[in-house]
Structure 1
Amino acid sequence: MVSSEPTPKKLTTIEDYKTFLDKFDTFMLDCDGVLWHGNRVLDGVLDTINFLRQNGKKLVFVTNNSTLSRANYVKKFQKLGIEASEKDIFSSAFATAVYLKEILKFPSDQKVYVIGESGIEDELREVGIQAIGLTEDNGTMMNHSDFGQIEPDATIGAVVCGFDLNLNYRKLAKAFMYLNNKKQNIHFILTNDDSTFPAPNGIFPGTGSLAQPLIHALKRQPLVMGKPNKPMLDCFFSNYHTDPERTCMVGDRLDTDIDFGRNGNIATLMVLTGVNTEEEALDPNQPIKPSYIIQSFGDFAKAKDA
């Protein structure tokens, strides 16, 4: 099906950069693939961030990465030379905690079983929700005799799945047991469903891919928090109260970042330093198109002396 959306405008000149920046007050910035690859900040990004802030622009770092809490993200930002506070960071882990606490009114006497890393557990505990799984099941091998020890647990009220470098069969077995218990209404939440994520030396399987064994076995779709889904969007606007017409989502992925902005009826800017290519964005059969395309977010620094 040929897309009916307007062809994205490619920003290539300093005049293009200045005209674009004048249109917006708030920039929602994806991180991996936009600001950095791994632990390397992309060229020009630090200068661009400083330039935008000096001109009164609000920057909110919006990431599907659930491995770090906002507090630990601040530490990472500091190591990379980027100034940021917790209120500047909006992650899928934080959105998940807010959603459980404020939307689902998660009972204080119940626990969340987490497949993921410390970011999810830290954010859940920050809002007063008990989280288990990381300490108990990381690095624990499983034998056939262990199946008899995995049982339903009436104290578990939700299973949250995020990116997990230590994913193992024990975690999947426990999560399946809890979610497959017909006597309890256990919430099944995925922090994001990114199929892949960018690393310095290529693309690797993401959270959405790691969760497929549970989805397939349960024949059940989880509530997905991260971009481009509505729960994340609702949480964002309720937290920041930005003017959608003066807000732009900046990202490297069509199916998450760009679709996220489209779902919120805000402008989108795609950078070419991450997952998707310009050819993919301009493909007539591509239904998700950005409003604008730029080679790199760092290119905006070229406008600071113009």
Structure 2
Amino acid sequence: MNKAEKLAVPAKILDHVDIFIFDCDGVIWRGDSLIPGIPQVITNLRSEGKKLFFVTNNSTKSRAGYKSKFTSLGLDVQPEEIFSSSFAAAAYLEQTSFKQTGKKVYIIGEKGIGEELDLVGVPWLGAEADKDHQPNMGSGGRDELMDRAPRKKGTEGIQPEFYVETINDFYPGGKFTSLGLDVQPEEIFSSSFAAAAYLEQTSFKQTGKKVYIIGEKGIGEELDLIGIPWLGGEADKEKKADMGPGGRVEIDHDVGAVVVGFDRHINYYKLQYAQLCLNELPGCEFIATNLDRVTHLTDAQEWAGNGTMVGAVSGCTGREPTLVGKPAPLMIDYIAKKYGITDRSRICMVGDRLDTLSGVTSEDELMDRAPRKKGTEGIQPEFYVETINDFMSVSKED
């Protein structure tokens, strides 16, 4: 495989490309900060007759929302030149004639996806309207056990000899509570203890590192007992679910697809709603706007990306999504069809990460002087530049 060439003569690209597709995050801006020189680059390329498009895997905004962002940064970009992953989701549903099914879409994401679905007339629910919803996670019934309802996947053929309401039924007439039991700590093997035991067995303490806990106080208490420092746990919780008796989440049975986009308000209710739709509604489709492991919310650091949300839904459904954002070809297909492009070799995609063109791939990785990030192996661009200013500044010298 040929190594990427550092662009020294921009004519090598400019003379052979009619359409440039620019990633936004890391190429046009970082967080809310415009990369220096970008307005002049855009003006220069337009003056040379190049058609420009701007793509982003961030689905929190629609094209109209991104138009506002471009304008606020002093860039003259039209909505039809913007391809966000929220638009990609809507385009996919439009191309697959989803509207004709008469079904609705359940959205895990922010307002951008809903705004795009409105434009193509696809009904939807969820998104920001569900951000404050909490599931009622109380106890359920015995219908599955008694085969009065379908078994959950993985429980078929498993049958206990007896069942009880609670283990108090082992002692008829009495109430089985911890106050009446003589149980020693060493007789209790909880999962929080198991976590601590694993860390102890692997000599984690000797690393001098801390443990970040996603969980409740039991893990922290067990780590305290073996002297391992930790943070997180209950100190980081924001909401408590309503766990009343008989709790359940009711879903709209007209849902025909679940779209998962980046969501800063992700909560358990949304995950429960999504898994019920995907596990219980025949034919319900699982669509992901992107699988980015990290994203750029600020210019100070990387943040957990939409792969986090998608992974959670995949984990509880055992399903992999249809990917509609970068690096899936849907955006290229849409542009080629809309503008009648038959020679795709005259399209140039510009980004700063190989797997999704969003993130950062270093020069050392690109030139194989350092290990590639997972998922970028075998992907090789033809050229690389420091910034897209190189399209213009060197060209002026020629």
TM-score when scaled to structure 1? 0.86
Unaligned runs of 5+ in 1: 259-273
Give the aligned residue type for 1:237: A
**Could you tell me how far 1:305 is from its partner in structure 2?**
4.0
**Could you tell me how far 1:295 is from its partner in structure 2?**
0.5
Task: Provide the rounded CA distance (Å) in 2 between the counterparts of 1:50 and 1:98.
Answer: 28
Q: Counterpart of 2:2?
A: 6
Task: Provide the rounded CA distance (Å) in 2 between the counterparts of 1:75 and 1:44.
Answer: 20
Cα contact 2:83–2:331 (8 A) shared by 1: no
**Could you tell me how far 1:236 is from its partner in structure 2?**
3.0
Q: Deviations over 1:127-165 (max 9, x none)?
A: 001121124311334322387241342111111000001
Task: Provide the rounded CA distance (Å) in 2 between the counterparts of 1:109 and 1:147.
Answer: 32
Task: Provide the rounded CA distance (Å) in 1 between the counterparts of 2:318 and 2:396.
Answer: 56
Cα contact 2:99–2:121 (8 A) shared by 1: no
Instruction: Verify: 1:300 aligned to 2:391, yes or no.
Output: yes
SS in 2 for 1:255: coil
Q: Counterpart of 1:194?
A: 292
Q: Counterpart of 2:314?
A: 215
Equivalent residue runs for 1:121-160 within 5 Å: 121-141=114-134, 142-145=241-244, 148-160=247-259
Give the aligned residue type for 2:6: K
Q: Deviations over 1:44-95 (max 9, x none)?
A: 1111111111111110112212111111111111111111111111122112
Task: Provide the rounded CA distance (Å) in 2 between the counterparts of 1:40 and 1:231.
Answer: 28
Q: Counterpart of 1:280?
A: 365
TM-score when scaled to structure 2? 0.67
Percent of aligned positions that are identical: 39
Unaligned runs of 5+ in 2: 135-240
Q: Deviations over 1:251-289 (max 9, x none)?
A: 01111239xxxxxxxxxxxxxxx5111111111764111
Within the candidate set 75, 92, 101, 2:94 is matched to 101
Task: Provide the rounded CA distance (Å) in 1 between the counterparts of 2:272 and 2:315.
Answer: 13
Within the candidate set 73, 77, 80, 1:87 is matched to 80
Task: Provide the rounded CA distance (Å) in 2 between the counterparts of 1:223 and 1:145.
Answer: 35
Instruction: Verify: 1:236 aligned to 2:232, yes or no.
Output: no
SS in 1 for 2:356: helix
Task: Provide the rounded CA distance (Å) in 1 between the counterparts of 2:300 and 2:246.
Answer: 38
Task: Provide the rounded CA distance (Å) in 2 between the counterparts of 1:113 and 1:147.
Answer: 24
| Greater fraction of residues in strand | 1
Task: Provide the rounded CA distance (Å) in 1 between the counterparts of 2:118 and 2:313.
Answer: 25
Task: Provide the rounded CA distance (Å) in 1 between the counterparts of 2:288 and 2:80.
Answer: 23
Task: Provide the rounded CA distance (Å) in 2 between the counterparts of 1:143 and 1:82.
Answer: 47
Task: Provide the rounded CA distance (Å) in 2 between the counterparts of 1:17 and 1:278.
Answer: 19
Number of residue pairs the alignment of both structures matches: 283
Instruction: Verify: 1:185 aligned to 2:181, yes or no.
Output: no
**Could you tell me how far 1:301 is from its partner in structure 2?**
3.2
**Could you tell me how far 1:240 is from its partner in structure 2?**
3.0
- 1:125 and 1:147, CA in 2 relative to 1: closer, same or farther beyond 3 A? farther
Task: Provide the rounded CA distance (Å) in 1 between the counterparts of 2:25 and 2:338.
Answer: 22
Q: Deviations over 1:140-193 (max 9, x none)?
A: 343223872413421111110000011111111111111110x52101100111
SS in 2 for 1:28: strand
Give the aligned residue type for 1:187: E
Q: Counterpart of 1:264?
A: none
Task: Provide the rounded CA distance (Å) in 1 between the counterparts of 2:21 and 2:245.
Answer: 46
Larger Rg: 2
